[in-house]
Structure 1
């Protein structure tokens, strides 16, 4: 048991660093909302969001499912030659696919611009090159995740994120147009492309691969492509549907509330750590350790996510009124409760989903997300023209709920992690008590919101302790962890 706790302490320390990184990345996104919405309006911000959504989509396509393969097969690898072979095989395939995508994007830039970017062909062309380098950078960052080099992962992620933010803020406030801001984003990706590839080559050397492991990697990774693509449809295609059916301005109304609703997922980034931690114990048949990691991860994600669901739902309107324009706030604030509940459900999914990955049941995952994607896209096309952006938010919630329910059904078949659901009820009760403060005070303005959030945190923690949602052993565990980390 002591060895398990020690392993979990290392896990939590890494998780804390990843959590801090994710929070800072989330803050950077929130920082850009007032700068871009108040300078370029709902239409300009909608175009910015569409660029980000398209980058995410085509990055997933270009890596052809090889990023999870890197984690699954190289995370426990110690042989340097095998690491070189695996990494450079993945890079070579990525180069081939992303080059084809780049050419296609440039050829079809005009219709893409009309459908997504309010007719701006220059932005459509520029986006093609942004995607090219963003794709490689995602592979490089995945390398650091694979080998649990969390400090480097966090350093490069934060540096890349905040350099892009600084470019965006400076260029926007200097009076430049959105195209210039996106040039700044491209320059950022270029800089970190060279920094990270130099660092990785220095660490493992360079080798021309013979692709002897590629068949195995593709056999594992290709079945995840439908899953990744379908997940993108569920997570992001609503912006495309809204843009095509309602216009870019409505994407601008929808996106800030959506971003606010996804904050809880960034508070506990278990999906970034667990895939590289669990295979080592699973391959050694140390199932008690696997169960411990999954149960602790579920508990502490919900410990943060449940009060965030209550708090952010109630504070959505005053927070958005600070970050955006009155028009965007009034059109979008009701989106947040749907998105945050969907994000909570998806956060649970990301943890239990590791069971199917460990069992190499990626075809099941792919099938689940294909069905969820068809459900999502169909409902969005039918509902959005009649009920607007609120329908898109509700459809996202329904899609996540479906994926979670089916994944839970199959995961329990292969591995019973025996989670104690009594904690959920205690957290809900504590969150209701906490929420009464928000309802009574109804804060407005930055200072008042911060004060209320602080009061709510105190009330929630006190209620959880009184209700014995966290036991003394767990409190002592975190005290010791903090002492060792300081």
Structure 2
């Protein structure tokens, strides 16, 4: 077990270091793109977040369950089918967007739209592969891969910006190139060498239907996060400007450091939580959940006091308003970070409907808040406050239902 824990820790450290490298480039991006250019990039990245959900069908959530309940062979077949569907859905999205550009006058060029879909596919494949590498405990390869991915991401961005042009499109090319390069490495150096059984008695149509049905059932779950983290930017762009979106987007990115950091830790805990649930070690699950929650709270408090001091040294004066938005957004990010650790028990017992109901409620809360803002006074800080309230709703509801599910299983 110690080797497993060390492997998980190595992957988490590698992934976190990779994320840190990715955030180091933020001052470079804002300096070269300016508030308006960074605002446009932020809008593209918001669309990518949503497309990843459609392209991957949230398969990275069901794959570990397949591995634990049906074995590695079943999970490998699932991974292959999931990737096939991801590629097919990406082609369909490009075709639909091309038709839209022919019949409608839109401000986004076909080339930019194509790059958005390409970057979405690359990241969706990474989610799928990383999910399998984690649950199969292939930690060393995954850790190296994620670290190199972020390093390539930064390197490709700087090369393209300096040699061609500093544009949102070049940033999308760098994202797609870095993610695809690592996925190809995973395919040739890991999955081509796995000799496990990949034969299944189920017909292809049934397997595809399972993936699509699972993805559709979780659309409210993932859609809620997208609405809370991204839709605000489109309202701000419409009522204000892309420059304001750039400032708000930077504030959100800075709070997202917490989400990404604890997202890595949260995913690292997933296999351990699943194994403890399988062994009916419910006390062990609760210790992980409460310990993780404490870490999130302490980290956010420290981050809250540090950021105002370092911000002026990293970003230009046109972005200074971002620190004010950051202070309001941070509690919402903390609530969401805690929310995800309590979803594992619900996912394990396939309580997708409960998760969807909770996230639907959170999403409705957020949308009602936005509606009130648009009908009264439009200020960026109000959007930040709505984000915090809707995140608190999701966190509290998931904690209650997750604890209830564990109590039900404990009594059996």
3-state SS of 1:345 partner:
helix
Question: Quick check: 1:191 aligned with 2:181?
Answer: yes
Question: Quick check: 1:27 aligned with 2:20?
Answer: yes
Q: Which residue of 1 aligns with 2:49?
A: 56
Specify which of 236, 239, 247 is matched with residue 233 of structure 2.
Answer: 239
Q: Which residue of 2 aligns with 1:124?
A: 113
Q: Which segments of 5 or more consecutive residues in structure 1 lack a partner in the other structure?
A: 1-6, 418-486
Deviations 1:57-80 (A, max 9, x none): 101112223221111112454453
Question: Quick check: 1:107 aligned with 2:99?
Answer: yes
Contact 1:50 1:240 in 2 (8 A): yes
Contact 2:274 2:345 in 1 (8 A): no
Q: In the TM superposition, what is the alpha-carbon distance from 1:193 to its structure 2 partner?
A: 3.4
Contact 1:274 1:354 in 2 (8 A): no
Specify which of 277, 285, 291 is matched with residue 283 of structure 2.
Answer: 291
**d(CA) in 2 for partners of 1:341 and 1:131?**
28
Distance 1:40 1:377, change over 3 A: same
Q: In the TM superposition, what is the alpha-carbon distance from 1:277 to its structure 2 partner?
A: 2.9
3-state SS of 1:100 partner:
helix
3-state SS of 1:42 partner:
helix
**d(CA) in 2 for partners of 1:233 and 1:109?**
25
**d(CA) in 2 for partners of 1:129 and 1:75?**
31
Q: Which residue of 2 aligns with 1:465?
A: none
Q: In the TM superposition, what is the alpha-carbon distance from 1:223 to its structure 2 partner?
A: 1.7
3-state SS of 2:36 partner:
helix
Length, aligned pairs only: 400
Deviations 1:402-421 (A, max 9, x none): 0111112212222249xxxx
**d(CA) in 2 for partners of 1:10 and 1:294?**
23
Contact 1:164 1:185 in 2 (8 A): yes
Deviations 1:76-117 (A, max 9, x none): 54453x344322222232232222122223333587963xxx
Distance 1:227 1:375, change over 3 A: same
**d(CA) in 2 for partners of 1:32 and 1:108?**
34
The farther-off stretch of 17-26 and 363-372 is 17-26
Distance 1:346 1:186, change over 3 A: closer
Distance 1:113 1:388, change over 3 A: farther
C-alpha RMSD of matched pairs (Å): 2.8
Q: Which residue of 2 aligns with 1:483?
A: none
Question: Quick check: 1:160 aligned with 2:149?
Answer: yes
Q: Which residue of 1 aligns with 2:217?
A: 223
The farther-off stretch of 396-405 and 351-360 is 351-360
Question: Quick check: 1:379 aligned with 2:355?
Answer: no
Q: Which residue of 2 aligns with 1:341?
A: 331
Specify which of 180, 197, 215 is matched with residue 170 of structure 2.
Answer: 180
Q: Which residue of 1 aligns with 2:387?
A: 396
Contact 1:113 1:124 in 2 (8 A): no
Question: Quick check: 1:85 aligned with 2:85?
Answer: no
Contact 2:276 2:284 in 1 (8 A): no
Q: TM-score scaled to structure 2, two decimals?
A: 0.86
**d(CA) in 2 for partners of 1:182 and 1:221?**
25
Contact 1:102 1:132 in 2 (8 A): no
Contact 2:79 2:128 in 1 (8 A): no
Q: Which segments of 5 or more consecutive residues in structure 2 lack a partner in the other structure?
A: none
**d(CA) in 2 for partners of 1:255 and 1:392?**
12
Q: Which residue of 2 aligns with 1:467?
A: none
3-state SS of 1:415 partner:
helix
Question: Quick check: 1:255 aligned with 2:249?
Answer: yes
